[in-house]
Amino acid sequence: MMRVIPGLKTDASIAEAQRLVANSFRLAGIDSPDADARLLLGHALRLNRAQLLSQSDRLLEAREVEFVQALSARRLRHEPVARILGRKEFWDLTLHVSDAVLVPRPETETIVEEALDRIARDGRQREPLRILDIGTGSGALLLALLSELKNATGIGTDISMAAIEVALGNAERNKLISRARFVCCNLAGGLGGQFDLVVSNPPYIPRAEIATLEAEVREYDPLLALDGGADGLDFYRAIAREAPRLLTPGGHLIVELGFGQEGPVASLFETAGLTVAPARPDLAGIPRALGATKATKSRHD
């Protein structure tokens, strides 16, 4: 097997292996080389962070070295660590991921924060709320919200049946399946009733920009979950059309935004008759979670 990590061979210690892998990642321009090396080594050896430290002097066997080399080769091809491990932490949940779904991003937690703040301001944390997650993917948004809102139930929709299967598995593993349902459909096609909270992380990359994205995204995230049409706004237009039908009076819609999209998306939602608030920024200061509310009485009442 090709040895992609120079110097990593049988009888290297765990500490030495971690240093060699991290150095190779650093030279390849990979972000967070030390953390990535630790995660991949821990996965290969089935050791957690504390065990890696306590066993740092242990020498690696030949088969362990081969496994570390194989995992490192994948990372050096810019395959995201979460895809190599098959899982990603999101909110307080561990979510399995496949090539059918986006890897949940830390910035997407901004949607959960905004939703929970709005529910808290309404004083409805303990009510039997109905939640809809449009384009659920791994189920990240819906399951994070259900984990916090103990009396809520929810539906996640996705056009990809493979994504629905991933979300179902995550609901089962996180013991939320009794309050979650998943439907394979386009947006919210065929769903009846109204929802107190609608969330979505829709595809929002302008089509021409997809080729310019970093390799971790461009080569490994599903195109269905990235392509937002010519201007990146196709799905926001569709959501704006559906929102008045889907929301209860006083219900909230919260969507993730791409860079520079706050103004155009806010305009779409206002045109649909919703009251829009300034977007909540993520940790990088980028407006990320745009919230809108349906009036408690329709204009025609």
Dihedral angle over CA of 37, 97, 154, 116, nearest 10: 20
Among the listed residues 236, 235, 240, the one whose alpha carbon sits nearest the alpha carbon of residue 270: 240
- The domain ranges of the chain are 14-77, 88-293
Q: What is the mean pLDDT of residues 11-37?
A: 94
Q: What is the mean pLDDT of residues 166-183?
A: 97
Residues 6+ apart with CB under 8 A from 51: 42
Spatial separation of the C-alpha atoms in residues 102 and 100, rounded to whole Å: 7
Quick: pLDDT tens for 88-113.
Answer: 999 999 999 999 999 999 999 999 99
DSSP secondary structure string, 2-48? ---STT--TT-BHHHHHHHHHHHHHHTT-SSHHHHHHHHHHHHHT--
Quick: pLDDT tens for 139-174.
Answer: 999 999 999 999 999 999 999 999 999 999 999 999
The predicted pLDDT at position 267 comes to: 97
58: how many CB neighbours lie within 10 A of its CB? 16
Q: How far is CA 59 from the centre of its chain?
A: 37
The predicted pLDDT at position 31 comes to: 87
CATH number 3.40.50.10680 is the correct assignment for the domain at 88-293: no
Quick: pLDDT tens for 189-203.
Answer: 888 889 999 999 999
The predicted pLDDT at position 192 comes to: 84
The predicted pLDDT at position 96 comes to: 97
- pLDDT of residue 301 exceeding 50, the answer is no
Torsion sign across C-alpha atoms 274, 277, 281, 282: negative
> How large is the angle between the packed helices 14-27 and 62-76, nearest 10 degrees?
20
The predicted pLDDT at position 270 comes to: 97
- pLDDT of residue 116 exceeding 50, the answer is yes
DSSP secondary structure string, 47-94? --HHHHHHTTTPBPPHHHHHHHHHHHHHHHTT--HHHHHTEEEETTEE
How much of the chain, in percent, has pLDDT values that exceed 90? 89
For residue 210, what is the DSSP state?
A: G
Torsion sign across C-alpha atoms 90, 91, 94, 97: negative
The predicted pLDDT at position 299 comes to: 47
Q: Which residue has the higher pLDDT, 1 or 77?
A: 77
The predicted pLDDT at position 45 comes to: 95
Q: Residues 159, 210: contact at Cβ < 8 Å?
A: no
Q: What is the mean pLDDT of residues 30-57?
A: 94
How much of the chain, in percent, has pLDDT values that exceed 70? 97
Tokens standing for 193? Answer: 């009733």
pTM for this entry: 0.91
The predicted pLDDT at position 2 comes to: 57
| Band of residue 41 on the pLDDT scale cut at 50, 70, 90 | very high
